[in-house]
Amino acid sequence: MQNNIFSALFVGQNLVTIKEVDSTNTYLKTLLSNSKPLPEGTAIMAESQFAGRGQQQNKWHSEPGKNLTFSILLTPSFLPVLQQFDLTRAISLGVIEALNPLLGDRLKIKWPNDIYYDDHKLGGILIETHLQGDRIKDAIIGIGLNINQEHFEEGAGNAISVKQILQKDYDLRALLLEICGHIEGYYLKLKAGKSLFVRNAYLNRLYWLNEARNFRSDGETFTGTIVGVKDEGVLVVEHNNLGTREFSLKQIEFLNK
């Protein structure tokens, strides 16, 4: 294990890099429970993650040394539980903004927090929160991004990497620090009460916004148009036959493969 302290913003200032781990989120949770208090912004970066997880316990496969697999500790006690989706928005936007100079406006956030380039998945985010009353005590943010991997195993679906898009290798540590800085920028906007700004920015980068597309829900395939996301994170879709419908996580499938 190697500890690196660099002079930047507080997100990522305490950076721990490890060769191999089951999951950086699990590793950070263990650190949080077993040691003295960790500074907010502590980040765990793994070269190899052999049991990475996505939303709903989905597996995240990553070729060792090729991609970004890391977790960040935040303590957003200023954020009420009912507004915790704003944290999802801020993290997603931080990732998007950091990668935007490389990949431009074809980079989108697929609701709720997947990172997409055109119709291909570039990465995902898993946020695990611990609550204290009606506030968020702490949040562990796991981020996986395909950077330098050129080939994906069967079953990886519509995965794509930055190298496949741009035909160039990128420095993983430099990208991580860039992402940390942008995440902090949006996080501080939330802390300053600028949640409306964050919500509008998230909506503007949303994949398939205002486009007639195909979806599946409860075994039914239908054409609909994403028209918004409610404050608490529910997806609002204009169903061509049934008017406006609202969907929570795993209630709707994007037929984009």
CA–CA separation, 113 and 62 (whole Å): 18
Q: Which residues contact 73 (CB under 8 A, 6 or more apart)?
A: 28, 32, 38, 40, 41, 42, 43, 138, 139, 140, 141
Q: Which residues contact 47 (CB under 8 A, 6 or more apart)?
A: 17, 18, 19, 20, 64, 65
The CATH number of domain 211-254, selected from 2.130.10, 2.60.60, 2.30.30, 1.20.950: 2.30.30
pLDDT in tens, 64-98: 899 999 999 999 999 999 999 999 999 999 999 99
The predicted structure's pLDDT at residue 48: 84
Task: Classify domain 15-205 at the CATH topology level.
Answer: BirA Bifunctional Protein; domain 2 (3.30.930)
**What is this structure's pTM?**
0.92
How does pLDDT run along the chain (257 residues), one tens digit per residue?
A: 444 443 458 999 999 999 999 999 999 999 998 877 899 999 999 988 766 555 444 454 668 899 999 999 999 999 999 999 999 999 999 999 999 999 999 999 999 999 999 999 999 999 999 999 999 999 999 999 999 999 888 767 799 999 999 999 999 999 999 999 999 999 999 999 999 999 999 999 999 999 999 999 999 999 999 999 999 999 999 997 789 999 999 999 999 86
pLDDT in tens, 183-212: 999 999 999 999 999 999 999 999 999 999
CA–CA separation, 8 and 85 (whole Å): 27
Boundaries of every domain in the chain: 15-205, 211-254
The predicted structure's pLDDT at residue 9: 81
